[in-house]
Chain A
């Protein structure tokens, strides 16, 4: 019964044009040979070349990647634990505080998270650098992981775990052999979310980085404050391309995996 009326078609066309046109323009002008970014002067890939020569950018990219991989991995472990606590641990003293601390960072303005962590690091005399950024990113992204994983855990059929225990697994084995494989897609998408959040973060990193470490967003920030530059256009294009490929592949893989596992789970429960 659903039809595309002229209204819907117009809304979708204009809406998606609005969402994608700015990025498209950015990509097109990254191949502009002119230094004046708003004037088209012919096709060139020279800005990509210059970008790859730029030590500062490459260093920042390397720092960002390191921070993102480490912090998202820690965040996934801690966040999955947090999700298990939220969904499975039952009642314990301070449960309300715990769930509050899981959900609060999701709505906390970044400037406040950044400021508070900086004040903590200074207070305890921790030298700021890659390590402090990792701590900060792990903390706020573990909350996102918790939310993603706990929503999967809620719909998880516990009789599967009970069956594993009934068949002689220890609780640890039941978790490792039954629960973990089933919630794996959620854990993976949690990791991806944490990874992109870390890659993307400017504000918290700026507060917690200190003078010794600079991440890519910080580098981009200090450069774009001065205005549009063709090098940043090229960098943006690379980042958009990587993300687009990554997200599309990941979503295809996880979609297939989720569908398959849900079907398997359903079949197993029914049979």
Chain B
């Protein structure tokens, strides 16, 4: 009896507030736009009974999805999101790996502090962290002031409101997600493996490629997914740091919903985004599973 209560309370909660809303999104994505409140048809009318349900069912169609394929704004936005997410993930890896490597090779008594310093930004407001770059990257910003001051450039660089700013923002905010899994993989690396590789004829650099990198592979994969997955649906960063030309699907969805009030199309955009996300999510789960098997 108690066990049933224990299961049912969180179960029903999640059904009602996670699964059902998602089914509603799915349903609305198959509906038509209407100038009404709510701004879509059909609505399920239980008063007409079974016939009402059949009518409702018959009116659902894939029209919105067809619309997404005809208007090139959408598929361009998907492609551009993918592109930005992939490039940003690679940049984050390039920045994060050396930091994780440095942490793993730091003296033992430093490491808890370094860990703390990596995690701390994660607890501070995401919005503020993105915002902090606006002042740095703008035309009159601190970076341009610094570069002009040192005489490296004579004209201010335009960085804010470009894709470059978006990349910087993503690398900055998601860096801890990249560092932590790689660090935990590197920290477990047995130093004698590197000595063995050197003993067998490797230089430091080949030992790094042949031993350190393959043995931190799972950490790298986990870190990349942890950055890639949330980046794909990112809204705040492209809106604040990106320009009008920065196309990201999270931003399109927001605008479709709030500015155009086109709920069915917004829902269809969301459904497709989820379908795209399922692949990396499954791959990520597999990688985690594999890691657990090796550890276990």
Contact = CB atoms under 8 A, between A and B. Distances in A.
Interface of A: 1-5, 7-9, 11-12, 15-16, 18-20, 22-23, 25-26, 29, 37-38, 78-79, 81-82, 84-85, 89, 92, 94, 97-98, 101-102, 104-105, 107-112, 115-117, 119-120, 122-123, 135-136, 138-139, 142, 146, 171-172, 196, 199-200, 202-203, 207, 217, 220-221, 224-225, 227-228, 232-233, 236, 239-240, 243-244, 246-248, 251
Contacts of A12: 99, 102-103, 106, 114
A15 to B, nearest CB: 4
Interface in B128-174: 128-129, 131-136, 138, 140-142, 145, 172
A81 B114 CA distance: 33
Given A117-B17, A203-B254, 18 more contacts: A2-B106, A3-B107, A4-B107, A8-B101, A11-B99, A15-B95, A16-B99, A25-B136, A38-B142, A89-B3, A115-B25, A142-B10, A200-B126, A202-B126, A202-B127, A225-B240, A240-B125, A251-B116
Nearest to B253: A111
A116 B198 CA distance: 56
Contacts of A5: 105
B233 A109 contact: yes
Contacts of A228: 131, 134-135, 138
Contact of A239 (B98, B124, B257, B273): B124
Nearest to A37: B135
Contacts of A25: 132, 135-136, 142
A8 B142 CA distance: 28
Q: Which of A29, A110, A199 is the most central at the interface, judged by chain B CB atoms within 10 Å of its CB?
A: A110
Contact of A16 (B117, B136, B273): B117
A98 B106 contact: no
B136 A22 contact: yes
A240 B7 CA distance: 38
Contacts of A232: 131
Nearest to B236: A202
B30 to A, nearest CB: 13
A2 B10 contact: no
A236 B10 contact: no
B6 interface: yes
A246 B125 CA distance: 13
B225 to A, nearest CB: 9
B121 A199 contact: no
B250 A120 contact: no
B46 interface: no
The 6 closest A-B pairs by CB, nearest first: A109-B233, A15-B99, A116-B21, A11-B98, A22-B132, A11-B102
Nearest to B145: A38
A167 B228 CA distance: 51
Interface of B: 2-3, 6-7, 9-11, 13-15, 17-22, 24-25, 28, 38, 95, 98-99, 101-103, 105-108, 114, 116-121, 123-129, 131-136, 138, 140-142, 145, 172, 175, 191, 229-230, 232-236, 239-240, 250, 253-254, 257, 263, 266-267, 270, 273-274, 277, 281, 284
A220 B131 contact: yes
A224 B274 CA distance: 29
A23 B132 contact: yes
Nearest to B120: A247
A112 B191 CA distance: 45
B141 A38 contact: yes
Contact of B10 (A3, A78, A97, A200): A78
B124 A22 contact: no
B14 A102 contact: yes
16 contacts: A2-B105, A9-B102, A11-B102, A16-B117, A25-B136, A38-B135, A38-B142, A98-B14, A115-B257, A116-B270, A139-B14, A199-B125, A220-B128, A221-B127, A225-B239, A240-B125
A240 B124 contact: yes
Contacts of A196: 123
A249 B209 CA distance: 40
Contacts of A81: 6, 9-10
Contact of B21 (A85, A111, A120, A221): A120
A172 B107 contact: no
Contact of B125 (A109, A136, A236): A236
Contact of B108 (A2, A108, A200, A217): A2
A23 B135 contact: no
Nearest to B16: A120
B247 to A, nearest CB: 15
Nearest to A86: B10
Nearest to A199: B125
B36 to A, nearest CB: 12
> Which of B128, B135, B172, B257 has most chain A Cβ within 10 Å?
B128
A4 B250 contact: no
Given A25-B136, A82-B10, A247 B123 contact: yes
Contacts of A107: 229-230, 277, 281, 284
A98 B11 contact: yes
